[in-house]
Structure 1
Amino acid sequence: MEHSEAELMLKGYGLTTAELFYRMPDFQNVLNSYIWQEYDLAPDHPKLFEFIEFWQDEIEGPLHSVRFTHRKLIASGEWQNVVGEFKLH
């Protein structure tokens, strides 16, 4: 079931951005980078580690290193549904 970004953020997900450095299969001295972004749960980062496992199983370019950052955009305590109407003039 697909969830909207707002629903994921309210459930505690944050935006995880990872930069994967990998070696070219035919040119082992050349490093390339790949940027990956997904909403994920910290501190375990299950989606990130699932992607890294996929890379190691399916992609020919061996990983050199991975660096990532995680940022919660909103927390459930920061948002509340307000019903009301204000009339000016």
Structure 2
Amino acid sequence: MQASETELMLKGYGLTTAEIYYRMPDYRSVINTFVWQAYDLAPDYPELFRFIEFWQQSLDGPLHSVRFTHRKLISPGDWRHVVKEFRLH
């Protein structure tokens, strides 16, 4: 069973975006780009490294470089449980 995005964010996952530069299999002098996004855990990034290993083992285009960024969308200070709300005029 796969967790929802909200459950992942509450467990500390953040959105990781990687821009992958790779060489074309038939034209090694041509570099192309591929953008990958997934929820991942910093600082180890297991999902990103699993994808890079898959790329190196299964795809023909050799990697040139990978540039990535990570952003936690929910931090501890942003989420709180509210039981009641009072409004004063």
When the two structures are superposed, what TM-score results if normalisation uses the length of structure 1? 0.91
Verify: 1:24 aligned to 2:24, yes or no. yes
Q: Which amino acid aligns with 1:83?
A: V
What is the distance in 2 between the residues matched to 1:55 and 1:36? 12
What's the offset of the Cα at 1:83?
Answer: 2.3
**Partner residue of 1:54?**
54
**Whole-angstrom CA distance in 1 between matches of 2:37 and 2:61:** 19
**RMSD in angstroms over aligned alpha carbons?**
1.6
- Which stretches in structure 1 are left out of the alignment for 5+ residues? none
Amino acid at match of 2:65: S
Give yes or no for the alignment of 1:67 onto 2:67. yes
Question: Could you tell me how far apart the structure 1 residues matched to 2:39 and 2:76 are?
Answer: 15
2:29 maps to 1:37: no
Compute the displacement of 1:4 (Å): 1.0
User: Normalised by the size of structure 2, how large is the TM-score?
Assistant: 0.91
| 1: CA distance, partners of 2:26 / 2:19 | 21
Q: Which runs of 5+ in 2 are unaligned?
A: none
Give the drift of 1:28.
Answer: 0.4
Deviating above 6 A after TM superposition, structure 1's stretches of 4 or more consecutive aligned residues are none
Q: Structure 2 counterpart of 1:53, which letter? A: E
Counterparts of 2:30 and 2:37, CA distance in 1? 23
